[in-house]
Structure 1
Amino acid sequence: MSVALPPLPRLPPAVPRSGVSADARRALRQLLGDVDRALAAAFRDGADVSALARRRGEAVARIVVHVWTACLGDVSGAALFAVGGFGRGLLFPHSDVDLLVLDEQPEPARLRALEQCFATLWDVGLKVGHAVREPAQCRALAAADASVFTSLLDARRLAGDATLETALRAIVEDPALWPPRDYLAARLAERDARHARYDDTASNLEPNLKDGPGGLRTLDSLRWLGRRLAHAGGFEAMQDAGLLDPAERASLCEAEATLRRYRWALHLEAGRPEERLLFDYQRALAMRLGFEDEHEKNLGVEQFMQGYYRAASQVERLGVQIAERFVELLEPPGEAKPVGEDFVRYGTRLAVRDPELFARRPATLVEIFIARLDEPGLIGFTADTMRRIHQATAQHDGKLAGDPEVLAAFLRLLRRGAPAVDALWRMNRHGLLAAILPAFGQVFGRMQYDLFHVYTVDEHTLRVLRQLARFADPAARAEFPVACELWPTLDQPELMLLAGLFHDIAKGRGGDHSVLGENDARAFCAKLGLPAADGEQVAWLVRWHLLMSTTAQRQDITDPEVVQRFADVVGDRERLGRLYLLTVADIIGTSPKLWNGWKDRLLADLYAATRHALHSDTQPVRDAAARLEACRAQALVLLQAEGIDAAVVERAWRAFPESSFLRHRPEQIAWQTAAIIRADGVWPLVAVHPLSVRGSTELFVCTPDRDGLFASVTAMLDRLHFSVVEARILGSNAGMAMDTFLLLEADGQQPASAARAEELRQRMQRALAQGGQILPPRRNMSRQLKHFQMPPRIDFRQVDGRTRMALVCSDRPGLLAAVAQVLVACTVRVHDARIATFGERVEDFFQLTDRHDAPLDEAQQQRLLQALRARLGQVA
């Protein structure tokens, strides 16, 4: 049903050069407000946004011309032009009104009149951006700057001397000014620079509707290029010129309609010219546009954002292809050279020999990507070939996934291992990957509404595959030594690529995506004709792809029982290696900020311990006494190498609790022991190792034990902007606290520099020497975190004579320090802490007792529970 647009405003005739009185300004302001309210109502009723934007552009143009006439009259030698979106006749609710005045001879009186004109427009409520230039000056600026020249392409005269319109057209149509080849290079360079600001992907959590990859600016750029290079400034004209086919034009128009609708709604929601789909607005926009929650794993806001991602990805993909067509328009392909039986190359680009090949033999849709891998020196496909791939994929819609020859070709591609990843990425850009894997098409553009997953599911999956491919590169060995050692040992790399493709493929369906994905993977491997054992290997990896990460971050992997339980699930060393590779790639592909030295060391330690546990001819050392003696012996060797006498070491170790040797590595024991010996009884002792063997900065505090020490240390760490990833709170046999904290810089999640480590040591030393309670600073919660707050979930369980408390809640500044203060207030002691943060979600685990080192009884647990709930609700 069509929705009637509000009528254009009826203005009284302007009296030339009379100016605009205060009463008239108020009337214009009221009129503009009435128009905007009527347009907002029409939008709510479902009116077409392009029509609304044109109507607003027409209404604003009337007001602008009215004010121009009132201030300047029927002037000669000067003209007023609309540029930018206003020049194209489109204005969104809070768009800038961009104006250009060409003035042949600017005189003081006219400049004063122009100032009055622009000031009046601002007074009326229009956000005016303006420039006043002489024609020669305008030409010089356009010649020097492609963006200035581009703005003139959309210029539209609103009022003033008509002869200046001819002057402006002469600038735009001058063949010597930005010739097609130069203009194309400038626009592509601008595109690349703009996209680089947005991580070269449209799949960011808070994308920019206008300037991000696949945004409205991309569509404008295609029109500008069409006009300058082919005299075809619109999509219809570009179709007539052969630069677009009907399906591509329809796709661009559909995507543009979505982006414009979202932009109109965003302006209304924000009440200002906001172009970013910030978390602040996403839920409200989803509701405004009618999206509803299907279930907890397919929220309305996720559906809303998927609509954006799909539209932007379509624009981005077609934008790349059309840009290639412009390149070939200026540089026609040279001589064809055969590449196998079905393909030819033109210079650095690959093409089909027979235009109907893809329609006749669908398997060649995959084979051309294999040929591109095999043929050296190729950088891509010809523009015509890209179009034919897209057309054939649409033509075979629903059939490719079941075509045995297509699947056989796809398996041949996967068996190329790491090089296949680049082909998979390109196949996704053409929609071919989703055609072969329909389940992958379901997660195309699917976001997860949290701060942990910073990309859509499809983008994340492809980044995981790219990371797996990096493990095949010897240059990555320094950064990923274990992974780069494992990858060459894989005799079937296609199994890893399949596991990477399927590990998140069931996101958004409801239920456990690992279980659902396991079933999908098993079924697809059977369709590929893989042996059942290989299919089970892929399905197992998909089912348990989170196991290694959660075990390492949430449990104590120095405990042999923990390692053994993990090993029992893994079963053999081949699976362990594959799971390690997938786990590392998954973490890195989730967010660039997640991977750090601590996680690297943590996973490597779990891998090594599990590999030992899975050794076929030995059993893991599970006897505590034997492990203790082994640690002591290795630490003693290290200390003697530093010149420390064994008898001195033994005297120092008399105060060490046995758990030190069971929970720390020999290198840590040696470092702590040497620090204690050097302190020679002067307390408190604070030692800091900038980069410990655990891949983090290690803080060791040895001081007479007292309640509240943990709270004081964590408060000071919070003041210094350190994140605690692990804490070991031990008491010596002589009444000393021997506490170890593993730290990362809060901002960059990296170990501290030597200078920062020394700052930490000195400030912690002074604070603890002064005694008393250290209070953490109060810091405001970030804008993003405010949108992801949830009630804390707290569980207690008795384990080995202590109370294990699991705390799951939203992250916020000073969280650990606040929890520590509550523990002090409730007379609870901390003996161990493991801190895990997943985006906005925190999962912390504490080993607790009362002040008599007894487990917490039911009443104590309830008091602590209520106190934590009350305090966490106050942290901000």
Structure 2
Amino acid sequence: MSRIVSQRAIINRRAVITRLAALDLDDLPRSRRRGKVLELFKQVLAEGRAEIRRRFDASGDGRHTVRETCFLMDQMVRLIHDFAAEKVFAPGVRTLGEAMTLVAVGGYGRAELSPHSDVDLLFLLPYKRVPYHEQMVEFILYMLWDLGLKVGQSTRSAEECIKGAKEDLTVRTALLEMRWLWGDQELFKELQDRYRAEVMGVSGIEFIESKLAERDARHAQMGDSRYVLEPNVKEGKGGLRDLHTLFWIARDMYDVAGIDELAEAGIITAQAATRFAKAQAFLWTVRCHLHYLTDRPEDRLTFDVQPEIALRMQYVDRPGSRGVERFMKHYFLIAKDVGDLTRLFCALVEERHRSKPRRLPFRRLFTRRTQLAGFIQEGGRLDLATPDQFATDPGAMIRLFHTALENEVDIHPRALDQVHRNLKRIDGKLRNDAEANRLFVSMLTSPKNPEVALRHMNEAGVLGRFLPDFGRVVAQMQYDMYHVFTVDEHTLQALGILHSIESGALQEEAPVASEVIHQVASRRALYVATFLHDIAKGRGGDHSQLGAEVALKLGPRLGLSDEETETVAWLVRQHLAFTRFAFKRDIDDSKTIQDFVALVQSPERLKLLLCLTVADIRAVGPTVWNAWKAGLLRELYHRAMEEMTGGLAGKAHAARVEAAQIALRAELARIQWPEAEIEAHLGRGYAGYWTSCDTATQARHARLVREAEASAAPLTIEPRVDALRGVTEVVIYTGDHPGLFSQIAGAMAVAGANIVDAKIITLTNGMALDTFFVQESEGGPFDSPSKLARLSAVVEQVLSGRMRLAQELASRRGHLPSRTQVFKVPPRVLVDNTPSRTHTVIEVNGRDRPGLLYDLTAAMTQLGLQISSAHISTYGERVVDVFYVKDVFGHKVEHDRKLERVRVTLLAALKDPRTPGGATRAA
């Protein structure tokens, strides 16, 4: 353990012993004696923690905090042990059979304890246990537990430890970091010597393979990306546990006490050891802030704590860049460094075990060396032909990744290490080299999945150096709850999804895009536009417009023709247009289609924009894409294409309606519906219904409607949990009437369900078939059986008039939590009469909260507005709700005074009643 400054200010062991002696315990009953001692130990622990916290607040350095916390815990454990041995149980000469050693294991053994970390103890005994052992262990553990500590403990002999280490990877890993704490040192030395000889000395590669497999499984469970926007500092990819894994591998291979010893021995470079130390110090500091801020062993860096930790770590706002975004960018760059170190250590393992025939999970063992495009291919991986290859030929860095992709081989970690060392050689000359740019575009548009090559380039730091505009978005977070990944990670995933569309892997989920992508004439422009679509995020201003300017600048450099460059720039500028029209406008309104066609202008651009849009949406996160959104995009595409290619939109739309009805007819006939009932159901849907959702959804609706009609039920509610998207779909079938949508929205708020999407459908029989996608107020599917039952009950009570909704919501405002409160979203209300010839269109933007949709729709009802269609979308903490409305006479709202009243009333409804003085201004 490194030296701790002013140890006695944290805990003075002698002073504590003196305070114990002053308690005068001899004449007290045992229970009162223990109580007074426990109270003293609580004071000592609290005083020590307060001093460590004071030091951390002053220095902001987690390196000292984890050492000091460990020191405090060491002294507490020793004091408790000695008090038990000397005051509680009969003192005297202990026999060899009563010897006992306290051993720190796991993170505690490494002498690293964050403020709320567990204390892992091994009570090491001779060959058999005696009553004295049981008494001591019980006293120490109960005292630690009563101090509020979480203790992981085991009681074993050396023989049991060795046997457990051979059989259990967890035991072996914990003992790898064992540290003598107190007690018999010979007993500890015996275990240490046997562990080195019988476990470390004979295992070969098995332990390392197991730890890497364990790491991969952990990554998969945590999302398998180091760029998730709410990362787990300990267990996530690129977090502390990955550094621990590297340390375990190093310790097992070389029996070193620290990574710095590897550098001293010349096994790794001093630079690599420094990067390890810096990454560890940063992650320790973040974890200490997390524990202190939340006052619990919290390891997830959630949105609500990120701003405060950023402030505490002195990341301040700058023009065009928020402090929290700068902090998180630093975090992701550290996580990337951890990935680089992982590759380096894998190379060390390979070199150590090169002569062994066992196949490693991270390499393919072949011994034949061949030449490939100026590189050496060995063991199925590319390596440099000469150590100075990049120094003499910087362009070889681009060629390395191109060759690996085209030949579908891995790149040797040694070569990647050399790339990292030579990044500064990627300068203006190389960036403007025609061959280097040709190779890059070849990778970007490769049929062998460009995501693979570009991800490797990004991890190695090449992508950001070769294209500085992309370098600006590397590790760039988007501080909201909608985007799951950093900008660079989102971009790379979008490229991978575009490749999947082209290869046919998404035929079922995106059938139209999977078809038209093979019809585009500007395939190269499509891939380049996908790569550049978010290139200007984080610059301030409209990233679409700024990105188009970047595209116009980069196109000639990348070797694109003028036509391709213009197409790329247009796609980047308009990459949000498809979703804007599909999700925020009524595509059954002919003016929506005409406005969209006027923007897109050509079938080629329409096809390109559809493919880019699908890739972009799916790359946002796993819960964003759904069949309903896919259906809206599909229908908008078809109607726009028909408008462009002959004006036969009506006939083509009728054909799609007929095709949807034929598909549903076949499905209902398959499950033996009578023909009369099939015909009756097909007559219930207006044309827009048949093109808005897929056959499977329509079949579920048909069954629900059939059962409701058969039982003459006035209200039918059917929930369906979609675990993949993390939402619950709630379908409600009931009689339509003014204010229905508002009543249901309010009922769901009372039941604790947060509406993230909604679809209003009115059938020809006057019944409403409304679908709501809901989550828990803190995220995740609304799937508890008791909560679903309550939701149904509350909706029924509200619609039957037995619950006074406004009063119920008002009384529950303070009990409806929302993690979105950490975000600030300026409220905005747009009232526009130009998007539709028959309706006034109201767009409402603001911060989501429980009950918001009810407040908005209730306000519209009070204003005398009739909601014809609603387009409800939630983008994390931000709602974008669009309503097509008419006045009580069935006309558009056109009087200026009435329009202003609508705007002001809805701005007031946007205000959160739980936040007095909250912003209500228009944006």
Residue 489 of structure 1 is matched in structure 2 by 519
Partner residue of 2:57? 44
**What SS does the aligned partner of 1:313 have?**
helix
Partners of 2:391 and 2:230 in 1: CA distance: 39
SS in 1 for 2:528: helix
Q: Tell me by how many angstroms 1:32 deviates.
A: 3.2
1:711 equivalent to 2:734? Answer no
Structure 2 equivalent of residue 571 of structure 1 = 601
Q: 2:423 aligns with which of 393, 399, 403?
A: 393
Could you tell me whether the CA contact under 8 Å between 2:831 and 2:903 is conserved in 1?
no
Shift of 1:298: 2.3
Specify which of 421, 430, 433 is matched with residue 451 of structure 2: 421
* Aligned residue identity for 1:131: S
Deviation at 1:200, TM superposition (A): 0.6
Out of 167, 190, 194, the residue aligned to residue 190 of structure 2 is 167
Deviations 1:770-803 (A, max 9, x none): 6777859879656533433646433434464654
Compared with structure 1, are the counterparts of its residues 772 and 635 closer, same or farther at alpha carbon in structure 2 (3 Å cutoff)?
Answer: farther
Tell me which of 442, 464, 470 is aligned to 1:434.
464
- 2:247 maps to 223
Contact 1:686 1:700 in 2 (8 A): yes
1:873 equivalent among 888, 909, 912: 912
- Report the counterpart of residue 142 of structure 1 in structure 2: 165
Q: Is the 8 A contact 2:631 2:694 kept in 1?
A: no
Alpha-carbon distance in structure 1 between the residues aligned to 2:595 and 2:854: 32
Q: Give the deviation of 1:583 after TM superposition.
A: 0.5
Instruction: Indicate if the aligned counterparts of 2:818 and 2:849 stay in contact, CA closer than 8 A.
Output: no
Partners of 1:70 and 1:588 in 2: how far apart?
Answer: 62
CA distance in 2, matches of 1:200, 1:411: 27
Distance change in 2, residues 1:180/1:774 (3 Å) = farther
Find 1:793's aligned residue among 810, 814, 828: 828
Q: CA shift at 1:476, angstroms? A: 2.9
CA apart distance, 1:715: 5.5
AA aligned opposite 1:711: S
**Separation of aligned partners in 1, 2:7 and 2:456:** 48
Q: Quick one: distance in 2 between partners of 1:471 and 1:793?
A: 36
Structure 1 residues 305 and 673, CA, compared in 2 at 3 Å: closer, same or farther? closer
In structure 1, what residue type is equivalent to 2:116?
A: H
**% identical equivalent positions:** 29
- How far apart, CA to CA, are the structure 2 residues paired with 1:681 and 1:130? 61
Q: State the match for 2:220 in structure 1.
A: 196
**How far, CA to CA, are the matches of 2:556 and 2:302 in structure 1?**
43
Tell me which residue corresponds to 1:453: 483
Shift of 1:92: 2.2
- In structure 2, which of residues 11, 14, 18 is the aligned counterpart of residue 12 of structure 1? 14
Distance 1:422 1:632 in 2: 41
Task: Tell me, yes or no, if structure 1 residue 834 matches structure 2 residue 857.
Answer: no
2:763 is the counterpart of 1:741: no
SS at match of 2:13: coil
Measure how far apart 1:471 and its partner are: 1.2
* Cα deviations by residue, 1:237-286 (Å, 9 ceiling, x for unpaired): 32345543233222222222211121122222112222111223111111
Contact map agreement 1:135 1:168 (CA 8 A) in 2: yes
Matched, 1:810 2:854: no
Deviation at 1:24, TM superposition (A): 5.0
**Aligned residue pairs, count:** 847
Deviation at residue 465 of structure 1 after TM alignment = 0.9
Q: Distance in 1 between matches of 2:665 and 2:250?
A: 76
Residues 209 and 712 (structure 1), Cα distance of their counterparts in 2 relative to 1, 3 Å cut: closer
Give the match for residue 356 of structure 1.
Answer: 388
Query: 8 Å contact 1:716–1:774 — kept in the other structure?
Result: no
Q: Using a 3 Å threshold, how does the CA distance of structure 1 residues 772 and 710 change in structure 2: closer, same or farther?
A: farther
CA 1:328/1:72 → structure 2, altered by over 3 Å: closer, same or farther? same
- For the structure 1 residues 355 and 125, does the alpha-carbon distance in structure 2 shift closer, same or farther, using more than 3 Å as the test? same
Asked if 1:516 is matched to 2:546, the reply is: yes
Counterpart AA for 2:740: L
Residue in 1 that maps onto 2:725: none
| 1:338 paired residue among 352, 370, 381 | 370
Tell me the CA shift for residue 590 of structure 1: 0.5
* 8 Å contact kept, 1:700–1:739: yes
Who is 2:123 aligned against?
101
Structure 2 vs 1, CA of residues 868 and 382 (structure 1 numbering), >3 Å: closer, same or farther?
A: closer
Task: Give the direction of change, closer, same or farther, for the CA distance of 1:118–1:767 in structure 2 (3 Å limit).
Answer: closer
Structure 2 residue 310 is matched with structure 1 residue 286? yes
Among candidates 276, 289, 307, match of residue 330 of structure 2: 307
Are 1:366 and 1:406, in contact at CA under 8 Å, matched by a contact in 2? yes
SS in 1 for 2:276: helix
Query: How far, CA to CA, are the matches of 2:399 and 2:744 in structure 1?
Result: 61
- Distance of 2:226 and 2:664 partners within structure 1: 54
Deviations 1:119-170 (A, max 9, x none): 3334455443322212222122111112211111211112111111222212
CA distance in 1, matches of 2:250, 2:800: 73
Distance 1:386 1:864, change over 3 A: closer
Any residues of structure 2 matched to 1:489-568 within 5 Å, and which? 489-490=519-520, 492-568=522-598
1:455 is displaced (CA, Å) by 0.8
Shift of 1:559: 2.0
2:106 is the alignment partner of 1:84? yes
Of 45, 48, 68, the residue aligned with 1:32 is: 45
- The amino acid across from 1:354 in the alignment is T
Higher mean Cα deviation, 820-829 or 714-723? 714-723
Counterpart mapping for 1:41-80 below 5 A: 41-46=54-59, 48-72=61-85, 77-80=99-102
Q: Which amino acid aligns with 1:361?
A: D
More displaced stretch, 10-19 vs 189-198: 10-19
Measure, in 2, the Cα distance between the counterparts of 1:689 and 1:12. 65
Deviates more, 1:780-789 or 1:428-437: 780-789
Q: Per the alignment, in what secondary structure is the counterpart of residue 180 of structure 1? A: coil
Amino acid at match of 2:236: G
User: Deviations for 1:39-92, whole angstroms, at most 9, x for unmatched residues?
Assistant: 323323336432333233223322322222222259652111122222222222
Partners of 2:174 and 2:782 in 1: how far apart? Answer: 48
Contact 2:635–2:692 (Cα < 8 Å) also in 1: no
Any conservation in 1 of the 2:383–2:415 contact (CA below 8 Å)?
yes
Provide, for residues 85-118 of structure 1, a one-character-per-residue CA deviation record: whole Å limited to 9, x for no partner.
Answer: 2222222222222221101132223321232223
Q: Per-residue deviation at 1:213?
A: 0.8
Q: Distance in 1 between matches of 2:509 and 2:694?
A: 23
2:370, 2:378 within 8 Å by CA — same for their partners in 1?
A: no
* Other structure's SS at 1:488 match: coil
Change (3 A) 1:146 1:471: same
Mapped partners of 2:608, 2:63: distance in 1: 51
Instruction: Determine the C-alpha separation between the residues in 2 that align with 1:631 and 1:61.
Output: 74
Distance 2:781 2:129 in 1: 61
**Pair 1:238-2:269 in alignment:** no
* Distance change in 2, residues 1:633/1:426 (3 Å): closer
Quick one: distance in 2 between partners of 1:53 and 1:147? 22
Q: d(CA) in 2 for partners of 1:124 and 1:507?
A: 49
- CA distance in 1 between counterparts of 2:905 and 2:795 reads 34
Which residue is 1:263 aligned to?
A: 287
Note the alpha carbon deviations across 1:188-222, whole angstroms, 9 max, x for none. 11101111121111222221111111111111211
CA separation in 2, counterparts of 1:306 and 1:558? Answer: 43
1:30 alignment partner AA: Q
Superposed, 1:623-772 pairs within 5 Å as: 703=735, 706-712=737-743, 714=745, 725-727=758-760, 737=766, 739=768, 741-744=770-773
Q: Is the 8 A contact 2:406 2:448 kept in 1?
A: no
TM-score (norm 2): 0.81
In structure 2, the residue matched to 1:274 is: 298
Question: Measured at CA, do residues 129 and 543 of structure 1 come closer, stay the same or move farther in structure 2, by a change above 3 Å?
Answer: same
Q: Deviations over 1:484-529 (max 9, x none)?
A: 2123334553322221221112111111111111111221222123
Rounded to whole Å, the distance in 1 between the matches of 2:177 and 2:61 is 22
Classify the secondary structure of the residue corresponding to 2:599.
helix
Query: Is the CA contact 1:474–1:484 (under 8 Å) kept in the aligned structure 2?
Result: yes
Considering only aligned residues, what root-mean-square deviation do their CA atoms show, in Å? 4.5
Shift of 1:744: 4.6
Per-residue deviation at 1:664?
7.1
* Counterpart code for 2:572: V
> Relative to structure 2, which stretch is displaced further, 632-641 or 268-277?
632-641
- Bigger shift: 62-71 or 667-676? 667-676
